Structure 1
Amino acid sequence: MTTHIHARMRRLRWTSYTLVVLGYMLAFFHRMAPAAIAGDLQQSFQASGAALGALAAAYFYTYTVMQIPIGVMADTMGVRKIVAIGALVAGLGSLLFGLADTLAAASMGRVLVGLGVSAMFISLMKLNSVWFHDRHFGTVGGMSILLGNLGSVLAAAPLVWAVTHTSWRNVFVAVGLFSLLLGVLVWFLVHSHPGEAGLPTMRELEGKEAHPRHHGHWYDGLLKVMKNRATWPGFWPNLGIGGSLFAFAGLWAIPYLRDVHGMERAVAANHTTLLLFSFAVGAMLSGMLSDRLGKRMPVILGGIALYVLCWLPIVFAWHLPPGLSYPLFAMMGLSASGFTLTWASVKEVNPPALSGMATSVINTGSFLGAAVLQPLVGWAMDQGWDGKLLAGARVYSEQNYQIGLGIMLAFAVVGLFGALAIRETHCRYTTVSGHK
């Protein structure tokens, strides 16, 4: 009987995990895709830098607003329903974006995409917390980010390749159809937690008591998370580190490399592919290292500090040969992954039953940061733009980028200082008896 339970547990766990991870990959793809097609979007909609930033940021505004509601729904409704509905909404948004003939319609498509995929990350973290052992959360979380980031890798060089063979519109229509199919599969095959399939919890399999449930209204749980002072320090590295990384890789990196360093779009896309792939690998390595050390803070602070330093050659436009520019982007991605451990840290300073809400509260920082930075950087560069155009797209000077990207560096520094106040949890729940 025990062997049968374990076999069924593994089958349902990995089926649920795989489908939700695919949704998370879609979230990363849509998040980063505007960078690879920035020039195409400017040509299609005759958009300024600020307008292009606003189009890309429409995803992030919606994503930011939805994080806490998604956290509440993950803890109450369950992962299956919100991921299935999210995939369907994102699919419709991608179809609208690909077929849009005006900037307003494209922006509405981005809003729907952001609304749909906003369900994916929090749901995946919630799924991890109930389908895997507590002691493996950092490692599994890192693996999840690694897999999810494959979506952002697809949104760089592979997307550039696809656009040269078809069009950006056809790509997003195809992605929309895939998203609709995924929503149907999630509805029928995903289980929100083992109990939904009549199975014991992971702790009960080890002869331990299950984590206590939250008793009371969801609103009380959310207030408990938000009143917990240990919750909030993780918001700042999400805002400064996550926000600057997503804004740069998701929109401004390729135009910067083209305008300042004279790179072809394919070469610039290779740099962002390496940046995002390194971030993905770094997230997994950070989780594994943290779980091995039994500490969160050394990995968080070490990574964030190195990430801030990586911004200096970019902001000051050091003209590095490819032998150094590729390692710089790789190091930037690896080091940025340190902030991803804040999701494990905030989970561990709040009750297990409220893990979805806790993660969602600080995760708003990443998308608020990107939502503010993408149009803000474009607006700042528009102020000094000399009117130069290339194939209908604006070309900015080195000085323009120093001003715009300098704002991103400032956000990263804020993230570093904010991280200093995060509580060390030693990779255990500090709110559960016997885990202190």
Structure 2
Amino acid sequence: MSETWGSGRRAWVVWSIAIAAYFLAVFNRSSLAVAGLLAADRFGISAAQLATFTTLQLVVYAGMQIPVGILVDRFGPRSVMLSGMIVISLAQAGFALADSYPVALLARVFVGVGDSMTFICLLRIVAAWFTPRRIPLMTTLSGTLGQLGSIVAAIPMTWALGNLGWTKAYLVAAAAGPVVAVLGLFLLHDAPGKSHVRGVSKTMREVIGGIAESWRHPGTRLGFWMHFTTPFSSNVLGLLWGLPFFVRGELRTDGEAGVLLTLMTVTAMVVGPVLGWAIGREPWHRSTLALWIIGATVTMWTVVLLWPGEAPLGLLIVLVMVVGAGGPASMIGFDIARTSNPGHRLASASGIVNQGGFIASLVLVLSIGWMLDWRTPGSGSAYTVSAFRWAMSLQYVLWAVGLVQIVRYRRRARAVISRASLTPVTGQP
């Protein structure tokens, strides 16, 4: 192994700390998914107002991606990631103590800020500590293991809310961040032999020029649209609307809904490493693999939404398993951006790609809230089965836009790759 990459044990220790930070970010991001109905009652809000919690958090997350990428390129992932842990913890503590809707909204804004400062750092750490052939596997494995945070948010958080109450449950969640931050101070390094890696200071004009150059590459745009199209269905279920959809839209119990959401995350954990292995082995078929997963997701939602009455539990199980594969599939977008940009632009290019899925998710989260309020006016949180069918059908608009753009930029990216005569290790998208 080149001395550019770390030795086995040290690399795994560094990666484990970074994964722990990402795990907590996903947990805090997803912790409202099982508390949606409680939040509606606690703050006396409508479906659209409830959706605003997650929407505002995602707006902040998406909007912070390019600035965070610039910060990582300049100051290194360690400093940015540890700062994010502290921000998330303070924000969750504020959310625990909030007794009004505006204060709770402000807290979720800063949850989004802290959340935005983790995943790009994790990608940069993976690129620094592992060999190029292992990066696709480690990237998808990182995204998969980080999703364990959704499981903790789905079942244990449900238990905590029911037994400890709102305030204590969220204060316990907030306490984990400082622990990881302290461990990171001692164990997390930006690169082998270097606690910190600092980039060259750039003027604002140079920064903007670098971002524009990354965006002009069709590989970056292809990665953006792949990340836009693959994960929003699982994100929307995991972040906010999963439990209400299964309980009110499909007439399942809270326990069944929690198991379905957990199964979705477990599926992502199983599929992630398999996809990572496939990407590393057949890199020139990356976008084709993503298109198959998108097609399967569209097919399963169509069957569920057209089913007369509530869908059978077995069908819902198949749905969440297929939808769960969308999260790992979004990692393909990052791998395409990685092979399309030089190393000094990796974090900012990843930030551009990472915006895609969260822009789609926030649009859908808010649109579902509006649709539910329109179809069940004045009903509070008593949404109907029909209203959920209408609301979940909004996904087809985003799938249509994303698929058109994927096909468009796949052709352009392959044309650029063909002209540049890239090696099979990098491959076609």
TM-score (norm 1): 0.88
Is the counterpart of residue 80 in structure 1 residue 78 in structure 2? yes
Which SS does the other structure have where 1:230 is aligned?
Answer: helix
Asked whether the 8 Å contact 1:302–1:338 carries over to 2, the reply is: no
1:312 is aligned to 302
2:256 is aligned to 267
Is the counterpart of residue 342 in structure 1 residue 333 in structure 2? yes
- The structure-2 alpha-carbon separation of the partners of 1:432 and 1:248, relative to structure 1 and needing over 3 Å to count, comes to same
CA shift for structure 1 position 7? 11
Asked whether the 8 Å contact 1:305–1:416 carries over to 2, the reply is: no
- The structure-2 alpha-carbon separation of the partners of 1:365 and 1:403, relative to structure 1 and needing over 3 Å to count, comes to same
| Mean CA deviation greater in 103-112 or 405-414 | 405-414
Distance in 2 between the 1:68 and 1:13 partners?
27
Could you report, residue by residue, the CA deviation over 1:267-309 in whole angstroms, capped at 9, with x for unpaired residues?
1111111112212322222111121223312322211221221
| Mean CA deviation greater in 270-279 or 239-248 | 239-248
Is the counterpart of residue 303 in structure 1 residue 293 in structure 2? yes
Asked whether the 8 Å contact 2:154–2:261 carries over to 1, the reply is: yes
CA shift for structure 1 position 95? 0.3
| Mean CA deviation greater in 396-405 or 308-317 | 308-317
Is the counterpart of residue 173 in structure 1 residue 164 in structure 2? no
Asked whether the 8 Å contact 1:139–1:291 carries over to 2, the reply is: yes
Asked whether the 8 Å contact 1:282–1:335 carries over to 2, the reply is: no
Distance in 1 between the 2:376 and 2:332 partners?
39
Distance in 2 between the 1:125 and 1:336 partners?
15
1:231 is aligned to 220
Which SS does the other structure have where 1:36 is aligned?
Answer: coil
Is the counterpart of residue 359 in structure 1 residue 357 in structure 2? no
* Residue identity matched to 1:303: I
Which SS does the other structure have where 1:18 is aligned?
Answer: helix
Is the counterpart of residue 410 in structure 1 residue 408 in structure 2? no
- The structure-2 alpha-carbon separation of the partners of 1:434 and 1:300, relative to structure 1 and needing over 3 Å to count, comes to closer
Asked whether the 8 Å contact 1:260–1:398 carries over to 2, the reply is: yes
Which SS does the other structure have where 1:135 is aligned?
Answer: coil
Distance in 2 between the 1:377 and 1:215 partners?
43
Unaligned segments of structure 2, at least 5 residues: none
Asked whether the 8 Å contact 1:214–1:221 carries over to 2, the reply is: no
Distance in 2 between the 1:340 and 1:7 partners?
22
Asked whether the 8 Å contact 1:303–1:339 carries over to 2, the reply is: no
1:16 is aligned to 14
Distance in 2 between the 1:215 and 1:435 partners?
32
Unaligned segments of structure 1, at least 5 residues: 200-212
CA shift for structure 1 position 67? 0.3
Is the counterpart of residue 400 in structure 1 residue 387 in structure 2? yes
Is the counterpart of residue 247 in structure 1 residue 236 in structure 2? yes
Asked whether the 8 Å contact 1:310–1:328 carries over to 2, the reply is: yes
Distance in 2 between the 1:354 and 1:342 partners?
15
Distance in 2 between the 1:314 and 1:28 partners?
27
2:362 is aligned to 371
User: Which residue, out of 21, 38, 41, partners 1:40?
Assistant: 38
Identity %: 24
CA shift for structure 1 position 9? 3.0
What is the alpha-carbon root mean square deviation over aligned residues?
2.9
Distance in 1 between the 2:13 and 2:397 partners?
42
Is the counterpart of residue 285 in structure 1 residue 283 in structure 2? no
* Residue identity matched to 2:56: A
CA shift for structure 1 position 218? 4.0
Is the counterpart of residue 329 in structure 1 residue 316 in structure 2? no
Distance in 2 between the 1:67 and 1:51 partners?
25
Could you report, residue by residue, the CA deviation over 1:298-327 in whole angstroms, capped at 9, with x for unpaired residues?
322211221221221343355332233212
Asked whether the 8 Å contact 1:239–1:368 carries over to 2, the reply is: yes
Distance in 2 between the 1:215 and 1:409 partners?
44
CA shift for structure 1 position 433? 8.5
Asked whether the 8 Å contact 2:4–2:128 carries over to 1, the reply is: no
Asked whether the 8 Å contact 2:70–2:348 carries over to 1, the reply is: yes
CA shift for structure 1 position 399? 2.1
1:124 is aligned to 122
Aligned residues: 416
2:371 is aligned to 380
